[in-house]
């Protein structure tokens, strides 16, 4: 499959050691105060980049409107507004640091999938990807990190980009929520391998607290409860910024391109541009993640 240059620009975003302080309410992140973090550092891709990549390449779509629509200006975030990491890092300085090593791995699967590689070919990459993540966590702990969260991958079979490019009329390829089973199985396989690697890391680093960040189920919680959370149930699989097809997404004319429309209310959509999520989706996922990891971080008041 021919690869769209704009797809690579959207996916190839690296967020390395970013100290984040943003002016917003922390929502459920207030519960993290018990951990007394003085900063949160995130290593990851475009799902967590708060503006580093545009410093290197200001031509990428996320450097320009309509990205940042909620802010009324583009910030380099691949969304209409804030990301999950923005909600997990509160404004207040506390006393220690939390390291988020991920989400990592998505792009390693995105590129070959977009190029038309089979699920089996992409699945064979998982052990190498997981080893690279494990090595990254080991290095971060070696630098002195004490508490580390290692997020897994999202259920990519529910994303508009893949629902579009891998569309099939064979209903057996979809689950009851109309997500592609094969892709979600790939994500689950990655996450299972990652959890095993985290188990090894815990044994190898008894003085560090290492926690799995369950992005898969955080997304599914929002996805399956979309109507209750205020999303438009009829548009749960459609992009807010995009055009064409059943999912308001086409590779040839993506968000940020000429004449690509933006939905009137991004808060009614889960997907922002077919790949990344909206601010409201990230906010709800962040709340789920915070509630899930808090007790596992072993913080004491």
Catalytic positions are 46, 273, 276
CA-wise closest residue to 211 among 293, 102, 280, 91: 293
Report the alpha-carbon distance of residue 212 to residue 123 in Å, rounded: 21
Report the alpha-carbon distance of residue 47 to residue 276 in Å, rounded: 7
Q: Is the dihedral of CA 12, 17, 22, 26 positive or negative?
A: positive
CA 272 to chain centre: 12
Pairing relationship of beta strands 209-213 and 147-151 according to DSSP bridges: parallel
Angle at 266 between CA 265 and CA 270, to 5 degrees: 135
For 224, residues 6+ apart whose C-beta sits below 8 A from its C-beta are 177
């Amino acid at each position: 499959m021919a690869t769209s240059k704009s797809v690579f620009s959207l996916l190839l975003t690296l967020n390395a050691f970013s100290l984040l302080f943003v002016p917003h309410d922390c929502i459920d992140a207030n519960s993290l105060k018990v951990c007394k973090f003085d900063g949160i550092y995130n290593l990851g891709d475009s799902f967590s980049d708060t503006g580093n990549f545009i410093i290197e390449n200001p031509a990428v779509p996320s450097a320009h409107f309509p990205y940042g629509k909620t802010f009324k200006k583009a910030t380099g975030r691949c969304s209409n507004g804030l990301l999950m990491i923005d909600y997990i890092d509160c404004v207040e300085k506390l006393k220690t640091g939390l390291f988020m090593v991920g989400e990592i791995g998505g792009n390693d699967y995105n590129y070959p999938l977009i190029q038309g590689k089979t699920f089996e070919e992409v699945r064979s990459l998982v052990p190498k990807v997981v080893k690279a993540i494990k090595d990254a966590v080991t290095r971060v702990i070696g630098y002195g990190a004490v508490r580390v969260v290692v997020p897994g991958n999202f259920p990519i079979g529910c994303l508009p980009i893949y629902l579009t490019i891998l569309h099939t009329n064979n209903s057996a390829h979809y689950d009851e929520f109309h997500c592609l089973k094969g892709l979600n199985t790939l994500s689950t396989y990655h996450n299972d391998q990652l959890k095993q690697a985290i188990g090894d890391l815990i044994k190898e680093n008894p003085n560090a607290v290492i926690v799995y960040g369950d992005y898969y189920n955080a997304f599914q919680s929002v996805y399956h409860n979309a109507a209750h959370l205020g999303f438009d149930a009829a548009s749960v699989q459609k992009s807010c910024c995009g055009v064409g097809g059943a999912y308001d997404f086409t590779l040839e004319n993506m968000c940020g391109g000429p004449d690509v429309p933006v939905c009137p209310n991004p808060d009614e959509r889960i997907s922002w541009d077919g790949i990344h999520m909206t601010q409201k989706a990230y906010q709800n996922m962040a709340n789920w993640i915070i509630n899930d990891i808090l007790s596992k971080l072993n913080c004491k008041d």
